[in-house]
Chains A and B, each alone.
Chain A
Amino acid sequence: MSRFGRGVFRLFILAGAATAIWFFFPNDTAAIRKRIDKVAALASVDQKESNLARIAKGERLVEYFTTDVQARLDGAGGELSSLSGRDQLAETLRGARLQVRSAKIELIDIVFDTKPVDNAAVTRMAALAHINGEQNSFVQEIRLTWRREGGKWLIARIETVKIKSGHE
């Protein structure tokens, strides 16, 4: 092989190694972004799914949360609903998933308020929900507080971010 060919070959090996490292050992920011994509996919409901499949998916979704997860969510009309603990979250998700025909959830425009450091991170994003095939989506800004447990990033707190009204 010529010198040029050997050089190109080495470059390919290096590029392949870098890609493998990036894929199998993502940095914490990339790891959290992947977890967020997974949460959105598991939170979505396909109308072709059976009730059993919905429940199973819901159980997998709950594994992305800590056991002591806190959820503070705005409902219609500005009410605040609070959930505490993974069990309560699982029960609420189970009920919600069985009631809708379909739901497409997207978590986009992710920003890190606190980058991952000392096993903690805070992210904000826009949550879009298309319910029952409707073209228009509900949109809400949400904040997720992350904690690393057992080598995995889990959601310790989820809350909606209210628009400033001046009456706080």
Chain B
Amino acid sequence: MSVTDASEEGISGPMRLVFGRRPARTLARIVVLVFTCFIIFRYMLLPIRVSGISMEPTYHDGRINFINRLSYVHRDPQRGDVVGIKITGYKAMYLKRIIGLPGERIAIANGIVYINGEKLDEPYAQRSKKRRWFMNEVKLGPDEFYFVGDNRTMPMEDHVQGITDREHIAGKVLR
């Protein structure tokens, strides 16, 4: 009389479609997959939903994107980077572009940004002929960055912009 090993035969019928020939291996794969997803989305990529129009036309209202939390582990944020800026945590953040780096002087005249007195070329910015932004010069501290959205057609007072520090920059947005 031969003895058959149930694990060799596996399971049959509809259950095999769900669990595969070797349920233990399938379960192990599921555990590894769940754990990997947890690590990735908890510590590496932060899913976000864009809310508002301040980053038009670059990022549209309602779109989904990701923030790479490891972007600035080995380097500092650069001018032009679109980043997530924490308010007090990771559930609600500002999605803005860095235009000023530590130690620089930032001013806006007639809708044009000036860094240390020199005009900044901003091909991403959307401006309006009727509504020009003006801002007196601001001097950034050693750990301060200036952020602003790309949509400069909206009233400046309705547009969230300003100074943040390195600690509040959650990461760079994937494009």
Q: Which residues of A contact B (CB under 8 A)?
A: 76-78, 108-111, 124-126, 128, 135-137, 139, 141, 163-167
Contacts and interface: CB of A to CB of B under 8 A. Distances in A.
B87 A109 contact: yes
Given A77-B157, A78-B157, A136-B61, A166 B88 contact: no
The 5 lowest CB-CB distance pairs between A and B, nearest first, are: A109-B89, A166-B138, A163-B162, A126-B92, A164-B163
B136 interface: yes
Given A136-B51, A136-B61, A137-B51, A163 B88 contact: no
Contacts of A141: 87-88
Nearest to B160: A163
B89 A165 contact: no
Nearest to B62: A135
Contact of B163 (A124, A126, A165): A165
B124 interface: no
A111 B88 contact: yes
Interface of B: 51-52, 61-62, 86-92, 106, 136, 138-140, 144, 146, 157-158, 160-164
Nearest to B165: A164
Contacts, number: 57
Nearest to B50: A136
Nearest to B139: A166
B13 to A, nearest CB: 38
Contacts of A164: 144, 162-164
B87 A139 contact: yes
B162 A166 contact: yes
Q: Which of B52, B88, B163, B164 has the most CB of A within 10 A?
A: B88
Given A78-B157, A165-B138, A139 B92 contact: yes
Given A78-B157, A137-B51, A163 B163 contact: yes
Nearest to B155: A77
Nearest to B105: A166
Given A109-B91, A109-B92, A167 B157 contact: no
